[in-house]
Chain A
Amino acid sequence: MSQQHPDVPFAVTLDVGSSLANLTGTWRTERPVYVDRLPPCNHACPAGENIQAWLAYAEEGDYEAAWREAMRDNPLPAIMGRACYHPCEGACNRSPLDDAVNIHAVERFLGDQAIEKGWVPAAGAAPTGKKVLVIGAGPSGLSAAYHLRRLGHAVTIREAGPVPGGMMRFGIPAYRLPREIVQAEIDRILAMGVDLDLNHKVEDIQAEMKDGGFDACFLAIGAHLAKRVDIPTPDAGKILDAIGVLREMDTSENPPLLGRRVVVYGGGNTAIDMARTAKRLGAEEAIIVYRRTREMMPAHDFEVEEALAEGVILNWLTTIKEIDDSGSFVVEKMALNDEGWPEPTGEFDTIEADSLVLALGQNVDTGFIAKVPGVEIDKDGVIQVGPDMMTGFEGLFAGGDMVPSERTITVAVGHGKKAARHIDAWLGGARHEPPPRHELAGMDKLNTWYYADAPKAVQPALDVVRRQTSFDEIHRGLDETNALYEARRCLSCGNCFECDNCYGVCPDNSVIKLGPGKRFEFNYDYCKGCGICAAECPCGAIEMVPENI
């Protein structure tokens, strides 16, 4: 017992901490443990971004730190904030509460801030003396080059075209992705000391590696060969391919001539981009013909909605049979069979149009790759790679649209990062072992009622009428105030954000606050394992673990 003062009641008034002799933690059968769980946004990100981490910096208003955190995984935040289809937002636990956090808008804000303020990536590792050849200056190749450079390797990109950017330039229209943004982010990568050879089409990989003294090669040439379908026509000049038209938009002085009525054949994002581009080129009608239903279109729904708002016409459950002598398009109606697949109905119709643009997907130009020993090309015409992104040829890695996966910029950027890490390990004679993934922080782990209501901040958009005649960017960015607000809508799923709930509810004062940014720890001498902290943690960052008794 502590020292007794004569003026105060015996054994009733005691010095502070006299109860500390009673180590009530020994009563415990379960112990709370602070954990970090995987937020669904991070889990869903094909580029493996630690979205929650950079949102946390943005929440504090430290945009440069937020940008640097994003840049650990993605060298193109201004581009991705515009062109990524943001699967993160689809997975966001905030969706059922009000709306998903507008992650892409915050990322875009960070990317634009970096360009405006001239932030540059931190210096990378010391030079390793290794040289890596990157073939293709699309998102995947640029991403790989950036990450390899940061890891200390010398990098040369060889690009067949006259400008870098790949599908970021040739696939995505300027109204979605302004070219000066693309150029700014590419320039920043090149400024890190990445060499870029333009108009250099690689024909013999082995020879170029040998001649250039390259220790490894990352292949990311994308998929640029438009898929064709045989449509009988008296005038083959009326049939164009979407990738070709979109490329011409960027490389030719004169915009392509499509006529007053344009039919686009296909149901993917390229078909939508094509139809909207046709509208902007002056077409009175841009008609998308698709053989399945609206619901089955691979295009993202919000893009379809935007296209419809701009006056694009959609004919689903329709196939194009031929273009007849009078120039009319003969189309056949389709119907879904019992299994839900479209079947011809024998019912025909005609559409009057000046041109047909095919947007049926793209193939990989595998000609020169097939010559490399050990490289396997599967029946879909894509290159087989292992879990480490390496082809069958030792030291030759591949990624982006040319390997089996979803074809998006974000996947490509992710491939570039992943390949760079494996190449780095391979160059050092080791294997890259990705760290184990944390358990997913699903909705069931959250106590959402602790969070205040906060509807999503809406990005301003151009009026429909103005969109139809201009390639100006449709969506404007967030400004500093609403970007901050938006970042603060993040629930921090699965990771402590120091809300003090556990600290406040602990009946035993057994949660110790370590200071701002340092989170908390449990005092297991006194924690009785009641579990209130775990039950009341808003974000699911506390787990109860049975004691070994």
Chain B
Amino acid sequence: MLEQIEGSHAVAKAIALSRPEVICAYPITPQTHIVERCAELIRVGAIRNCEFINVESEFAALSVAIGSSAAGARTYTATASQGLLFMAEAVYNAAGLGLPIVMTIGNRAIGAPINIWNDHSDSMALRDAGWIQLHAETNQEAADLHIQAFKLAERLSAPVMVCMDGFILTHAYERVEIPTQDQVDAFLPPYRPRQILDPSDPYSIGAMVGPEAFMEVRYLAHDKLLQALGVIPEIQKEFEDIFGRDSGGLFHSYRMEDAKTVVVTMGSLAGTVKDLVDDLHKDGARIGVISLCSYRPFPLDGLRYALRGASKVIVLEKSLAPGFGGVLASDVRMALQGVDTHVHTVIAGLGGRPITRKSLARMFARAERGELKDPHFLDLDLDIVRREIDNQRGQITAGPIAENILREIGPCTPKAV
């Protein structure tokens, strides 16, 4: 049924329809509305045969999830930002143990300085933990990806993160088609664990393994994620057959038919870019858009094929590797190894900085003229950074950058660009 609904609540409904057996989570903005609604749904009986376990931290949340999943329960949790970092050790363990846990990430910046708004720093920090990482473009896709995630996780015995942009998606009211229980039941069979911890037939999981086998274990983890490159499109197709819409997959292509310039991006930003690209096409521009859904595994071959006709690629990403540049751009360059296509890195929207069509259009124009430096920081206030860099030069104690800048610009919100 089509509903006008907050993104978080749409996700909670999708979780409910997926018949989880254990939900344990610790609240953190912007994920809180999801787990609060899950708890309410359990309380009112809308999720049956499910236990909501209150825990004292994110580390405990995922540790409980590991326990319940290993004991054979379909298990869900959610977190964001510092919460994901706090559970980092358990994040690796869940993947190492091959437990099909599904976890929502309400993507949010990482401090310091503390910041509750959206970028992709959190899930990027754990990109190599062995989880499948799917990014939702819209709230409809966020809801759909959770239903797909359980199927994907359980088919591969691997945990899945469903990443959705904090506030931009989690707190936005949009139209979302909420599937029926019959549809979901037809798509998602009951969980049949590969193995269950059972006191009457004991074994141990994750105990110490030495150098004689560890390389093989890690290779197998790599191979499992490579297998996912095949399974994800299969599930995308199965989903479309039952639900009648295209959701998920490895990436979405938009106006790629004769594109010379291709914008590669991830998450909700794709919507803004597509709108702008529609406008620019009216003026004859040949710009296409690829929005990645599966960041891990990374579809190297698929991207390389999709970008075969492009002469210029602009990677627009909400993450930064300080001292290096773009994170996503680096991966895209890996896909285009040996191909003579110029790849621009554009860092945008860190800590929730608005990404406007106006700024994007200006940036595209500069790229067309060959004036874009690499990496380019969208809407960076150069006056402020130059002044701060000058101030720091020659000083023995520099002090915290954030406080210095706020002192410069006064007690106001960052100016709209």
In the complex, A16→B207 CA distance in Å?
9
Residues in chain B near residue A7, CB distance under 8 A: 194-195
Q: A368 interface residue, CB < 8 Å from B?
A: no
- In-complex Cβ contact of A8 among B194, B202, B217 (8 A): B194
A12 with B202: CB separation less than 8 A: no
B203 with A12: CB separation less than 8 A: no
Q: Which residue of A lies closest to B97 (CB)?
A: A12
Residues in chain A near residue B212, CB distance under 8 A: 1
Which A1-24 residues have a C-beta within 8 angstroms of B?
A: 1, 7-19, 22
Residues in chain A near residue B216, CB distance under 8 A: 10-11
In the complex, A19→B157 CA distance in Å?
24
Q: Which of A11, A16, A19 counts the most chain B CB atoms within 10 A?
A: A11
A16 with B204: CB separation less than 8 A: yes
B205 with A22: CB separation less than 8 A: no
Q: Using a Cβ–Cβ cut-off of 8 Å, how many residues does chain A contribute to the interface with B?
A: 15
Residues in chain B near residue A11, CB distance under 8 A: 209, 213-214, 216-217
A8 with B195: CB separation less than 8 A: yes
A1 with B209: CB separation less than 8 A: yes
In the complex where A1-B209, A12-B98 touch, is A17 in contact with B204 (Cβ < 8 A)?
A: yes
Residues in chain B near residue A17, CB distance under 8 A: 204
B217 with A10: CB separation less than 8 A: yes
Q: B406 interface residue, CB < 8 Å from A?
A: no
Residues in chain B near residue A9, CB distance under 8 A: 97-98, 157, 194, 205, 220
In the complex, A9→B205 CA distance in Å?
9
In the complex where A1-B212, A9-B98, A9-B157 touch, is A14 in contact with B207 (Cβ < 8 A)?
A: yes
Q: Which residue of A lies closest to B209 (CB)?
A: A11
In the complex, A19→B209 CA distance in Å?
8
- Could you tell me the distance in whole angstroms from the C-beta of A17 to the nearest C-beta in chain B? 7
- Could you tell me the distance in whole angstroms from the C-beta of B38 to the nearest C-beta in chain A? 29
B203 with A8: CB separation less than 8 A: yes
B217 with A14: CB separation less than 8 A: no
A19 with B220: CB separation less than 8 A: no
Residues in chain B near residue A19, CB distance under 8 A: 204, 207-208
Q: Which residue of B lies closest to A4 (CB)?
A: B213
Chain B, interface residues (CB within 8 Å), range: 20 to 34
- Could you tell me the distance in whole angstroms from the C-beta of B360 to the nearest C-beta in chain A? 45
B205 with A13: CB separation less than 8 A: yes
Which B161-210 residues have a C-beta within 8 angstroms of A?
A: 194-195, 202-210
In the complex where A8-B195, A12-B96 touch, is A18 in contact with B207 (Cβ < 8 A)?
A: yes
In the complex where A8-B203, A19-B207 touch, is A13 in contact with B195 (Cβ < 8 A)?
A: yes
Residues in chain A near residue B203, CB distance under 8 A: 8, 13-16
In the complex, A13→B213 CA distance in Å?
13
B207 with A10: CB separation less than 8 A: no
Q: Which residue of A lies closest to B217 (CB)?
A: A11
A10 with B220: CB separation less than 8 A: yes
Residues in chain A near residue B214, CB distance under 8 A: 11
Q: Which of A8, A9, A19 counts the most chain B CB atoms within 10 A?
A: A9
- Could you tell me the distance in whole angstroms from the C-beta of B207 to the nearest C-beta in chain A? 4
B213 with A1: CB separation less than 8 A: yes
Mark contacts of A12-45 with chain B using CB atoms, 8 A cut-off: 1 yes-contact digit, 0 otherwise: 1111111100100000000000000000000000
- Could you tell me the distance in whole angstroms from the C-beta of A8 to the nearest C-beta in chain B? 5
- Could you tell me the distance in whole angstroms from the C-beta of A243 to the nearest C-beta in chain B? 70
In the complex, A16→B212 CA distance in Å?
19
Residues in chain A near residue B195, CB distance under 8 A: 7-8, 13
Mark contacts of A233-248 with chain B using CB atoms, 8 A cut-off: 1 yes-contact digit, 0 otherwise: 0000000000000000
Which B374-402 residues have a C-beta within 8 angstroms of A?
A: none
- Could you tell me the distance in whole angstroms from the C-beta of A245 to the nearest C-beta in chain B? 72
Residues in chain B near residue A8, CB distance under 8 A: 194-195, 203
- Could you tell me the distance in whole angstroms from the C-beta of A24 to the nearest C-beta in chain B? 10
In the complex, A13→B209 CA distance in Å?
10
In the complex, A16→B194 CA distance in Å?
18
A14 with B204: CB separation less than 8 A: yes
In the complex, A7→B213 CA distance in Å?
17
Q: Which residue of A lies closest to B213 (CB)?
A: A11
- Could you tell me the distance in whole angstroms from the C-beta of A258 to the nearest C-beta in chain B? 74
Q: Which residue of A lies closest to B206 (CB)?
A: A12
In the complex where A1-B213, A12-B98, A14-B203 touch, is A22 in contact with B208 (Cβ < 8 A)?
A: yes
Q: Which of B207, B208, B209 counts the most chain A CB atoms within 10 A?
A: B207
In the complex, A14→B214 CA distance in Å?
13
In the complex, A9→B213 CA distance in Å?
12
In the complex, A9→B195 CA distance in Å?
9
Residues in chain A near residue B97, CB distance under 8 A: 9, 12
Q: Which residue of A lies closest to B96 (CB)?
A: A12
Which B193-244 residues have a C-beta within 8 angstroms of A?
A: 194-195, 202-210, 212-214, 216-217, 220
B205 with A14: CB separation less than 8 A: yes
- Could you tell me the distance in whole angstroms from the C-beta of A501 to the nearest C-beta in chain B? 22
In the complex, A447→B210 CA distance in Å?
40
Q: Which of A1, A13, A18 counts the most chain B CB atoms within 10 A?
A: A13
In the complex, A15→B205 CA distance in Å?
8
In the complex, A379→B153 CA distance in Å?
95
In the complex, A14→B97 CA distance in Å?
11
A12 with B217: CB separation less than 8 A: yes
In the complex, A10→B220 CA distance in Å?
8
Residues in chain A near residue B209, CB distance under 8 A: 1, 11-12, 14
Residues in chain B near residue A15, CB distance under 8 A: 203-204
- Could you tell me the distance in whole angstroms from the C-beta of B203 to the nearest C-beta in chain A? 6
Residues in chain B near residue A12, CB distance under 8 A: 96-98, 205-206, 209, 217
- Could you tell me the distance in whole angstroms from the C-beta of B137 to the nearest C-beta in chain A? 33
In the complex, A420→B207 CA distance in Å?
61
Q: Which residue of A lies closest to B195 (CB)?
A: A8
Which A297-324 residues have a C-beta within 8 angstroms of B?
A: none
Residues in chain B near residue A16, CB distance under 8 A: 202-204
16 A-B residue pairs with CB within 8 Å: A1-B213, A7-B194, A9-B98, A9-B220, A11-B214, A12-B96, A12-B205, A13-B204, A14-B203, A14-B207, A14-B209, A16-B202, A16-B203, A18-B204, A18-B207, A19-B207
- 4 interchain residue pairs of minimum CB distance: A11-B213, A19-B207, A11-B209, A16-B202
Identify 12 new A-B residue pairs, CB closer than 8 A, beyond the known A14-B204, A16-B204: A9-B98, A9-B205, A10-B213, A10-B217, A11-B213, A12-B96, A13-B204, A14-B207, A16-B203, A17-B204, A18-B207, A22-B208
